[in-house]
């Protein structure tokens, strides 16, 4: 079995294995039952190319998910088809010049497709996105968080509100500031009079930072206050050049053992000049 899993951030040891059965390769993942349910449901959502395509690099690419194989209730293990392809996180870490522009273009197309298709993929991240150039396929591979499906698509302002936070932070970890502005236009604008139910905030890290910035709050929080915390987290992970080479803070931040350790480090970095960030992150 020559295939290997890509080495990307947040790949928790012991949760994912590559296995072979009757000549086919499968991924076995210890996960929540919700992921198995959503992956099974998405077999129908992606059953054909209608509405599930983007145009990139002069070609049409179909978008899909791995084939669902089985769910082991006793061992909480999902088995799904192994899909080959280039991992977007890996590509964004190494791409330069024209090639990098192409992968930024790809990210733009993916998010426009998500908005127009009404497909809010809360686990959207470069590490969860595979590009198979030989078969012209894009494969989305992680569905642990609840999906939001809207057959009519999303208005820009509503979509921006939903994408802020985890999704924006994940992509910001591998996109420079000017690239982020292309992929997420006007992401922080709007929703000035919106309040958000605290229970709908899925990120423990965001809640910790929100409390640090504004103290304990009630059942609802201002969207602008939450956006301030979310932007602070995205700004912290945004790559920058050190001695002519890109430096990716997210790779090192993700090694924090707990959500509190992560946020403590974010606060420390935000209060320090970038010249000492490597030292703080123990690079």
Instruction: Answer yes or no: is pLDDT of 88 > 80.
Output: yes
Sheet holding 68-72, edge to edge: 16-21, 24-30, 77-81, 68-72
Q: What pLDDT score was predicted for residue 246?
A: 95
Residue 49: pLDDT band with limits 50, 70, 90: confident
Question: What percent of the chain clears pLDDT 90, i.e. is strictly above it?
Answer: 86
Asked if residue 50 has pLDDT above 80, the reply is yes
Query: Average pLDDT of 242-248?
Result: 94
Would you say residue 9 has pLDDT above 50? no
Question: What's the whole-number mean pLDDT along residues 254-258?
Answer: 94
Spatial neighbors of 151 by CB under 8 A, at least 6 apart, are 118
Crossing angle for the helix pair 259-270 and 204-214, nearest 10 degrees? Answer: 50
d(CA 169, CA 236): 9
What are the Cα distances from residue 137, in Å, to 140, 203, 227, 238?
10, 30, 34, 28
Give the mean model confidence (pLDDT) for residues 14-23: 85
Helix (H), strand (E) at residue 80:
strand 77-81
**124-157 confidence digits (pLDDT tens):** 999 999 999 999 999 999 999 999 999 999 999 9
The full set of domain ranges for the chain reads 193-283
Average pLDDT for 39-56: 94
Inform me whether the pLDDT recorded for 1 exceeds 50: no
Inform me whether the pLDDT recorded for 7 exceeds 70. Answer: no
Mean pLDDT of 244-270: 96
Q: What gap in Å lies between CA 269 and CA 249, rounded to an integer?
A: 10
Q: What whole-number distance in Å separates Cα of residue 267 and Cα of residue 272?
A: 9
pLDDT tens, residue by residue, 191-238: 889 999 999 999 999 999 999 999 988 899 999 999 999 999 999 999
């Amino acid at each position: 079995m020559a295939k290997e899993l890509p080495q990307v951030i947040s790949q928790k040891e012991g949760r994912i294995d590559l296995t072979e059965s009757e000549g086919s390769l499968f991924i076995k993942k210890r996960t929540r039952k919700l992921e198995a349910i959503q992956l099974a449901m998405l077999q129908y959502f992606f059953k054909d190319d209608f509405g599930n395509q983007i145009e990139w690099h002069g070609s049409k690419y179909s978008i899909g998910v791995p084939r669902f194989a089985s769910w082991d209730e006793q061992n909480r293990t999902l088995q799904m088809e192994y899909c080959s392809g280039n991992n977007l996180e890996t590509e964004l870490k190494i791409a330069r010049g024209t090639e990098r522009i192409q992968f930024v273009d790809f990210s733009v197309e993916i998010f426009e497709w998500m908005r127009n298709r009404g497909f809010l993929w809360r686990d959207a991240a470069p590490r969860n996105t595979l590009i198979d150039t030989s078969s012209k396929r894009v494969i989305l591979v992680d569905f642990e968080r609840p999906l939001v499906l809207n057959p009519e698509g999303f208005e820009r302002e509503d979509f921006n509100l939903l994408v802020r936070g985890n999704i924006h932070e994940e992509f910001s970890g591998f996109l420079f500031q000017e690239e982020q502005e292309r992929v997420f236009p006007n992401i922080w604008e709007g929703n000035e009079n919106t309040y958000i139910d605290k229970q709908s905030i899925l990120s423990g890290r965001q809640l910790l930072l929100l409390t640090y910035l504004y103290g304990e709050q009630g059942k609802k929080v201002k969207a602008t206050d939450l956006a301030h915390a979310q932007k602070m987290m995205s700004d912290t992970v945004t790559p920058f050049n050190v001695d002519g080479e890109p430096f990716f803070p997210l790779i090192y931040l993700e090694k924090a053992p707990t959500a509190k350790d992560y946020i403590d480090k974010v606060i420390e970095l935000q209060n320090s000049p970038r010249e000492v960030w490597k030292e703080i992150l123990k690079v």
